[in-house]
Amino acid sequence: MEQKKVDKPKKVRTKRSLSTKLTPYAYTMPAIILFLVFTVYPMINMIRLSFYEWNGLTEEKFVGLQNYNYLFNLQVDFKIALQNTLVYTVSVVFFLLLFALIFAVWLQKDSKINAMVQRLMFFPHLCSMLAISTVFSWLMDEEGLFNAVLSFFDLPGLRWLNDSTTAMMSIVIIAVWKGMGYHALILLSSLKSIPTEIYEAAALDNTPPVRKFFRITIPLLSPQLFFMLINITLSSFKVFESIRVLTKGGPGKSTIVLVYYIYEYAQSNLKYGVAAAAGVVLLIFLAILTVIYFRLINRRVHYQ
């Protein structure tokens, strides 16, 4: 505003502002174009494809809502996949949050051994799911170490991944083992941000530890816990790698999940329309969760 009063530099200003008017676009456009070409357009194309019948080779044929009818009415596979995904997601969310909370509270004191335990717990998060899954499939082999331990205690061995009743449980165990340390770590850093005065006040009042935990720790962590809940739900809905490496959806259909269903229909069955329709259903789930997620981020920023 002040510059308006001065006459001379005005010319220079306008000249410069013309170029500065264009530079933001030059800086943003590469990313935006890449997003449009590799994310937005393929998604719109997928939604369109969900109304067509296509095998990847012949002409596309418009079939209206027939693919959706196929998913929900003609066949049980999709409903099983949906159900399995929900079972997987609910179990992973529950056990990850529970264990992360227990370990975060247990390991919150600054000490060498706590730092070491935290690090060891965290490391699997960085490793390839393929490698982790493979090691566990070896441990869970019918003649593997887990059963050897069970038989040592005179317990009957389990068939783990080879039995339709225990396969999903085994996959959940692996996911929880892998993600526990990471989520404990996030909770630990928010625990550290709780002002110590609050605990000191509680100590003066002689509040018992269990009460302190439920009355102070949990409420103060609740925004973070809810945030993690959404995050884990989002990633659990997309579970694929462990399923593909370990069970390929089996035994029977006991571990077919949404993304695996989509993958099968697109890669092996070459029914792209059905795969796309299943993709649209997954997209709706993800969209709802993402909107909640960003609402939360915004609210948190405002409070800070």
Partner 1 sequence: MLGLTKKQRRNIKRTSLNILEWIFKLAVCVMFLFPFYWMVITSFKPYLETLQFPPTLWPETFTLSGYFTVFEELEVLRYIKNTLIVTGSVIVLQFLVNIPAAYAFAKWEYKGKGMMWAIVLATFMIPGQLTFMTIYYMFADWGILNSLLPQILPTIASAFSIFMLRQNFKQISDEVVEAARLDNASEWKILWRVMVPMAKSTVITTVLFSFIGHWNAYFWPLVMTRNEELKPITLAIDRLKSLEQGMNYTDIMAGNVILVLPVVILFLLASKKIIQAMAYRGMK
Q: Site residues for partner 1, window 181-240 (CB under 8 A)? A: 181-183, 185-186, 188-190, 224, 228, 231, 238, 240
Give min distance, CB of 19 to partner 1, in A.
9
List the Cα angle 300/303/304 in 5-degree steps: 90
Q: Which residue reads 């404990």 in tokens? A: 184
Please report, as residue ranges, which positions from 112 to 131 form the binding site for partner 1 (by CB under 8 A).
113-114, 116-131
Residue number with CB closer to partner 1 (80 or 281): 281
Residue number with CB closer to partner 1 (167 or 183): 183
* Near partner 1 by CB under 8 A: residue from 134, 165, 222, 269: 134
Give min distance, CB of 200 to partner 1, in A.
21
Residue number with CB closer to partner 1 (151 or 222): 151
Which of 247, 220, 213 has its CA nearest to residue 133? Answer: 247
The region of 5-13, 66-74, 88-96, 146-154 touching partner 1 under the rule CB under 8 A is: 146-154
Residue number with CB closer to partner 1 (80 or 228): 228
Distance in angstroms (rounded) separating the CA atoms of residues 99 and 97: 6
In the shown chain, the binding pattern of residues 241 to 280 toward partner 1, with x for contact by CB under 8 A and - for none, equals x--xx-------------x--xx--xx----x--xx--x-
Q: How far is CA 190 from the centre of its chain?
A: 20
Structural tokens at position 199: 């605990």
Please report, as residue ranges, which positions from 86 to 115 form the binding site for partner 1 (by CB under 8 A).
103, 113-114
Structural tokens at position 164: 């339709």
Distance in angstroms (rounded) separating the CA atoms of residues 223 and 193: 13
Query: Cα dihedral sign for 10, 16, 22, 28?
Result: negative
- DSSP-H helix ranges across 239-271: 241-246, 258-263
Distance in angstroms (rounded) separating the CA atoms of residues 127 and 168: 21
